[in-house]
């Protein structure tokens, strides 16, 4: 047995002795300098500077997600969630994106970190829910993005209502001609209280490409002496009329086919004197709508459409002229796609480009749609 004094005086293992000497050397503080060594200090300083520069470069690359990017990311996460599940962090991200998308559908303000931080720096407190709603409303009103201030959102239906609309069986005839009602009744306008005539104008002279083809078919049948007893061969005019409940199914079908899904134009029945529907017989071939109550002394053209096979005959020009005349002394504004040929028509009437809005239509069009999502904001000064 060894005594306690002998155990204390025993020499440690050579490796332990080496480690103890290295620790003492590292812990030694030079009297002239507080750092361990100039070379080690210089090396660490360079490493810190490189880390700071890389962080600044990464910070410059950080860009907030747009609505389009959120939709793409949400679709990607949904597909992966269905196939093989998601990690917890990505699962939380998916839930947050779903919440943001639902808020946009109902016109509620979406949380914005930059706006919250600016408000805290300026006021020294958090933003209340009322202030958040007012702030988002004022911002959307100036930028014309989403929420209650966007005119196009008036005609958008929610996801549940869209499923209910798709589940209803609308016949092929109703999608082309509308419902069966009397065509020659006078219309009482709920907006202005005026009594509107059944027709705005009846055109017997214009010959769109579709009408020319129809006349050639009839002429060819007569030339070959075929039986045309069941076909109406007498020339019919192109009628310009005010919208009625009869036209709504046909207008919705045209708008969803050539604009985007989820459009319901039932609201325009509240101001029929600011609308124009074009039909050949009972076939609806185009329509135009101007919203008269967007702002004081300002109207907004929300939709103007002519079927592609009925264009190049002055139909769109007459509709635009009629809509402008309905708003006497008021400025008229609209949004048009940056690649839309209708821009030339608007400029002929004196519309001027005021603003370029990138990704304006991304909240309406599918993320993989090839149409241009950028818009131009035009104004006609009166």
CB distance 35 to 44 below 8 Å:
no
163 and 101 co-located in one domain: no
Radius of gyration for the chain, computed over Cα atoms and rounded to the nearest angstrom: 35
Q: How far apart are CA 131 and CA 140, in angstroms?
A: 14
91 and 234 co-located in one domain: no
DSSP 358: T
**Can you give the pTM of this predicted structure?**
0.62
Beta bridge partners of 280: 238, 283
Q: Is residue 351 part of a domain?
A: no
167 and 305 co-located in one domain: yes
171 and 259 co-located in one domain: yes
**pLDDT tens for the chain, residues 1 to 382:** 444 444 445 555 554 555 455 544 444 444 444 444 444 545 555 555 555 555 555 555 566 676 667 777 888 888 888 888 888 888 999 998 888 878 776 667 777 777 788 888 888 888 777 677 666 655 444 343 333 346 777 777 655 555 555 556 677 777 776 766 656 678 888 888 888 988 899 988 888 888 888 888 877 777 777 766 666 666 788 999 999 988 999 999 999 999 988 888 988 998 999 999 999 988 899 999 998 877 778 889 999 999 999 998 999 999 999 999 998 888 999 999 999 999 999 999 999 999 898 888 888 887 778 888 899 999 998 7
Q: Is residue 191 part of a domain?
A: yes
Question: Tokens at residue 35, please?
Answer: 């750092």
Q: Is residue 179 part of a domain?
A: yes
Q: How far apart are CA 11 and CA 13, in angstroms?
A: 7
Last-in-domain residue among 286, 301, 328: 328
189 and 267 co-located in one domain: yes
Question: Tokens at residue 228, please?
Answer: 């045309």
For residue 312, the Cα-to-chain-centroid distance in whole angstroms is 29
Domain range holding 77?
A: 67-143
Q: Is residue 42 part of a domain?
A: yes
Q: Is the dihedral of CA 80, 82, 83, 88 positive or negative?
A: positive
Query: Which CATH number fits the domain that encloses residue 178?
Result: 3.40.630
């Amino acid at each position: 047995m060894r005594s306690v004094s002998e155990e204390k005086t025993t020499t440690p293992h050579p490796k332990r002795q080496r480690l103890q000497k290295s620790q003492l050397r590292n812990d030694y503080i030079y009297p002239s300098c507080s750092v361990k060594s100039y070379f080690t200090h210089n090396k660490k300083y360079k490493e810190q500077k490189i880390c700071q520069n890389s962080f600044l470069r990464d910070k410059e690359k950080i860009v907030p997600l747009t609505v389009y990017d959120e939709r793409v990311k949400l679709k990607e996460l949904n597909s992966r969630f269905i196939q093989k599940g998601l990690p917890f962090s990505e699962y939380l991200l998916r839930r947050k994106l779903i919440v943001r998308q639902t808020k946009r559908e109902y016109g509620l303000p979406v949380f914005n970190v930059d706006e919250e931080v600016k408000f805290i720096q300026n006021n020294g407190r958090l933003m209340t829910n009322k202030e958040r709603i007012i702030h988002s409303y004022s911002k959307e009103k100036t930028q014309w993005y989403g929420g209650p201030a966007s005119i196009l959102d008036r005609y958008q239906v929610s996801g549940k209502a869209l499923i209910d609309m798709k589940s209803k069986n609308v016949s092929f005839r109703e999608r082309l001609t509308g419902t069966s009602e009397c065509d020659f009744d006078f219309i009482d306008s709920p907006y202005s209280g005026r009594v509107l005539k059944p027709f705005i104008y009846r055109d017997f002279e214009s010959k769109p490409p579709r009408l020319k083809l129809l006349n050639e078919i009839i002429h060819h049948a007569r030339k070959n002496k075929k039986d045309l007893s069941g076909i109406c061969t007498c020339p019919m005019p192109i009628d310009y009329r005010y919208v009625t409940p009869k036209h709504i199914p046909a207008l919705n079908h045209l708008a969803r086919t050539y604009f985007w899904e989820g459009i319901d134009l039932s609201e325009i029945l509240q101001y029929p004197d600011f609308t124009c529907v074009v039909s050949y017989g009972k076939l609806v071939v185009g329509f135009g709508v101007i919203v008269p109550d967007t702002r004081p002394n300002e109207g907004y053209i929300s939709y103007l459409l002519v079927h592609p096979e009925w264009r190049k005959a002055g139909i769109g020009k007459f509709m635009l002229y009629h809509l402008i005349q309905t708003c006497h002394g008021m400025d008229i504004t609209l949004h048009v796609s940056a690649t839309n040929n209708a821009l030339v028509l608007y400029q002929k009437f004196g519309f001027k480009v005021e603003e370029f809005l990138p990704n304006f239509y991304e909240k309406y069009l599918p993320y993989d749609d090839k149409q241009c999502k950028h818009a131009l904001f035009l104004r006609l000064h009166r």
